[in-house]
Amino acid sequence: MVRQVKQTEQTYAAAGVDISAADRAKELIKKHVRSTLRPEVLSDIGFFGGFFEIKGYREPVLVSSTDGVGTKLKIARVLGKHDTVGIDLVNHCVNDILTCGAEPLFFLDYIALGKMVPETVEAIVRGLAKACREVNCALIGGETAEMPGMYAPDDYDLAGFIVGVVEKSQRLDQGGIQAGDTILALPSSGLHTNGYSLARKVFGQEPAALNKRYPELGRTLGEALLEPHRCYFNQIKPVLPWVKGLAHITGGGFEGNVPRVLPKGLGAHFDKGSWPVPPIFPLIQRLGKVDDAEMYRVFNMGVGMAIVCSPEDVRRLKKSMPEAKTVGEVIKHKGKTRVLID
C-alpha cells in the first residue's frame, strides 16, 4: 500500500505577506492622509498616481528631495513609539528644499516592514500627516510593503520624497554670498535624524539604557533621542527675501553641509560658544570619549539651520526670528578646510 501525502496549500499569507492586514492599514491611514490634501490635489487616495496642479507661479521651478530616518528607527522600535518618526522624515525633507527657497507642495512615503502591523503603520502615517499639515504640504501618495525575509518581523524602514516649488527669480543659490556676510543659526531640538549609529554605540539600545534618566536631560535618554527633527519653514519663509543662503546641518555636520552653499574661494568661521549646545551632545561626548572634531563632523551640535545674510539685514532677521543667534561669518577660503570652528 502506498501512503498518500497531502500537500499543504500554499498562500501568500503562509509565505509571510498578509494582504488583509495591508488593507486594514490602508483604511486606518485614510483619514490622516485626507487631512493634508490641498485644493491643487486632483486625485483621491488609492489611484496609481497622484495629481497636483501648480498655480500662482509665473516661472515655477520644481525642487525635489528624498531622505530617510536612518537608525533612529531602531530607537523607536525598541521603545514601541512610532508616531514621531514620520514627523522627522517630513521635516528633514522640507528643510532640505527650503535651502533652495522652495515651498513644499506634496510628499510621498515608502514604508517597508518585516510584518504588517496596521497600528504601527497608522502611527507612522499619523506623524507624516501632522508634519505635512503644519507646512500645508499634501501627503499625496505612498507605498507600504510587507517584505518577510528582507526585514525581521518587528523591523521596518521609512523613506520619503518631497516636491516643492520656487519662482525661478527667487531661488536661492550661491551667487550673492561674499566674504564678510554674517552667519546666523536657528537651534536644533537635538540629534534630529543624524548621528544615531554613534549615539547607539555610546549608550546601547537596550530598553534599560533608553529608559535611564539623566539629570542634565530632564527626561529619559529615549525621550531625548526621539525628540522630533525641527522644521524651519514657517520661521524662515517670511524673511526669505533677505536670506542669501541656507545650510541644513544634517549628516556630515558642519563640514559636510555649510560648504554646499558657499561659492568657491569662500569658507565659514564659527565662534564656538556663541550658541547653546543641547545637553545630549556633551553627554555623548563625555560617555563616548568623542573628540571635538568628530562631534562637529557627525552632529549638528545645536545648529539646525545656518543662515547666511548681509550684516545690515541681521537686525531684521533677528526681530522676525528671536531664537536666531549670530554664530559666525563668511571668510575668504585658504587651505583645505572650508569650515573653522574655534
Q: Which of 107, 103, 76 is nearest to 90 (CA)?
A: 107
Asked if 187 and 145 sit in the same domain, the reply is no
Q: How far is Cα 317 from Cα 242, in angstroms, rounded to an integer?
A: 8
| Structural domain total, the chain | 2
Judgement on whether residues 197 and 298 belong to the same structural domain of the protein: yes
Torsions phi, psi for 325 (to 5 deg):
-120, 145
Which pLDDT belongs to residue 309?
A: 98
CA–CA separation, 13 and 73 (whole Å): 26
Question: Rounded to an integer, what distance in angstroms lies between the CA atom of residue 131 and that of residue 213?
Answer: 28
User: What is the distance between the alpha carbons of residues 283 and 214, in angstroms, rounded to a whole number?
Assistant: 9
For residues 163 and 244, state if they share a domain: no
Q: Do residues 45 and 192 lie in contact, with contact meaning Cβ atoms separated by under 8 Å?
A: no
Give the residue from 129, 127, 131, 107 showing the smallest Cα distance to 32: 129
Rounded Cα distance, 137 and 133, in Å: 6
Entry pTM: 0.93
Asked whether the beta carbons of 75 and 190 are under 8 A apart, the reply is no
Provide the CATH number for the domain around residue 131: 3.30.1330.10
149 and 56 assigned to the same domain: yes
Listed residues 170, 204, 237: the one ending a domain:
170
Outline where the chain has alpha helix (H). 19-34, 72-79, 85-98, 118-134, 196-203, 207-210, 221-225, 233-236, 253-257, 280-288, 292-298, 314-320
Q: Please, what is the end-to-end C-alpha distance for the chain in angstroms?
A: 88
**Same-domain check for residues 301 and 226:** yes
Tell me phi and psi for residue 91, to 5 degrees.
-65, -40
Q: Which of 162, 77, 78 is nearest to 128 (CA)?
A: 162
Same domain, 141 and 203: no
pLDDT at 9: 60
d(CA 246, CA 260): 9
Give domain status of residue 258, yes or no: yes
Cell of 74: 531602531
For residue 193, give Cα distances in angstroms to 14, 43, 143, 299, 313.
36, 31, 22, 9, 31
Domain boundary at 110, 137, 170, which?
A: 170
Instruction: Give the residue from 170, 197, 226 where a domain finishes.
Output: 170
Query: Do 146 and 231 fall within a single domain?
Result: no
Domain that holds residue 152: 19-170
Per-residue pLDDT at 5: 42
Residue 215 sits in the same domain as residue 158: no
Per-residue pLDDT of the chain (342 residues; tens, 9 = 90+): 343 444 556 777 777 787 888 888 888 888 998 999 999 999 888 788 899 999 999 999 999 999 999 999 999 999 999 999 999 999 999 999 999 999 999 999 999 999 999 999 999 999 999 999 999 999 999 999 999 999 999 999 999 999 999 999 999 987 799 999 999 999 999 999 999 999 999 999 999 999 999 999 999 999 999 999 999 999 999 999 999 999 999 999 999 999 999 999 999 999 999 999 999 999 999 999 999 999 999 999 999 999 999 999 999 999 999 999 999 999 998 778 899 999
CATH code: domain of residue 271: 3.90.650.10
In a domain, 6, yes or no: no
